[in-house]
Amino acid sequence: MNGRRDVFFVGWAKTLPRALRGFLLGVALAVLAGAGAAGVLLSATVDDPGGGDFLFDDGPQSLRGAVTALPYPVLHLPPDATRPAWRSVLLSGVGKTGVEADPALEGRLVEASGFMLRRGPVEQMQVERPELRAAADALVDAPPVAPLGRWRLTGEICDGKCWNGAMRPGAGISHRACANLCLIGGIPPLFVTTRPVEGSDVLLLGGADGGPMPQAMLDWVGLRVVLEGELERRGGLLVFRADPGSARRPGAATP
C-alpha cells in the first residue's frame, strides 16, 4: 500500500502525482485529436456553399435586350456574332427586393444597369432602380417559348439572389428563413434539381398559371421536395411552372 501513495490524488491537492502526469497528458492529447477528427468528419458532410459571387470587381454593368415580365422579370440578350445562343439574366433589386416590369415593356428594347452575380451558367443582375424602363422606342423580339412537356422533379426551392452568391450558404435548411424573406420581397425563386433536366439543374420557378410562385410553396423552401408541372425553355433559361398541390417529400405518396 505504501508503494502506491505517490499515485493517489484528490481534488484539493496542489500538484498531480508524478505517476499520473504522463497518463493525463496522453488523455488530453487523445481528446484534442478526437475533437479535431470529429470536426473534419462533420465538415466533410456539409454541402459546398457554392461558387457564386457578386462581381464587384467588374463594376456596374449595363445590358440591353428583351424583357419578359412573368413569372419574374428576366432580361434576354439575343444571339450575336460573339454569342450563338440567347443570354438570359435574372433581375433583382437591392437587398431583399424584386424588380417591377410592366408587361407593356415586352417587345420593346429595355436597358438595365447594376452589379452582376454569377454561379456557373446562371446570371443575375442587382439593378440600380426597382422599375425597368424602355431604352428606346425600338422593338426587339423576345426569345421563343419552347414547351418541353410535363415533368415530376425533385429538388430544392431557393431564392435566386442568395443562391447566386449574395450569401453563403445560399441554400439548405440553415438558409430557409432568409430565402423566404427574399422570395416574399420578389426575388426570383429557383428550383435546383437533384439531377440535370434538359441540360440544366437550375430552373426558374413559377406558378402553374404562368405567374409568380404561389405563396403556399413558401412552406417548402429549403427542403427536399417533389414538384410536378410544365417545363418550357425561354431563351437561356428553363422555366418550371409547378403545381403547388403536387408538392410532397420524396418517398411520400402522390397527393
pLDDT at 68 over 60: yes
Q: What is the mean pLDDT of residues 19-40?
A: 87
Rounded to whole angstroms, the Cα distance separating 144 from 239 reads 13
Range 53-139 classified under CATH 3.80.10: no
Cis peptide preceding 49, ω within 30 of 0: no
Tens digits of per-residue pLDDT, 97-112?
999 888 888 888 898 9
Compute the distance between CA of residue 60 and CA of residue 53 in angstroms, rounded to an integer.
14
Per-residue model confidence (pLDDT) at position 1: 47
> In this structure, what C-alpha cell is assigned to residue 237?
433559361
Q: What is the pLDDT of residues 176-219, one digit of tens each?
A: 999 999 999 999 999 999 999 999 999 999 999 999 999 999 99
Averaged confidence pLDDT in the chain: 87
pLDDT of 5 over the 60 cut: no
Kindly give, in sequence order, each residue whose CB lies less than 8 Å from that of residue 126, ignoring residues fewer than 6 positions away. 54, 92, 93, 94, 114, 115, 116, 117, 161, 166
**What share of the chain in percent tops pLDDT 70?**
89
**What is this structure's pTM?**
0.78
Q: Where are the domains of the chain?
A: 2-44, 53-139, 145-248
243 has pLDDT over 70: yes
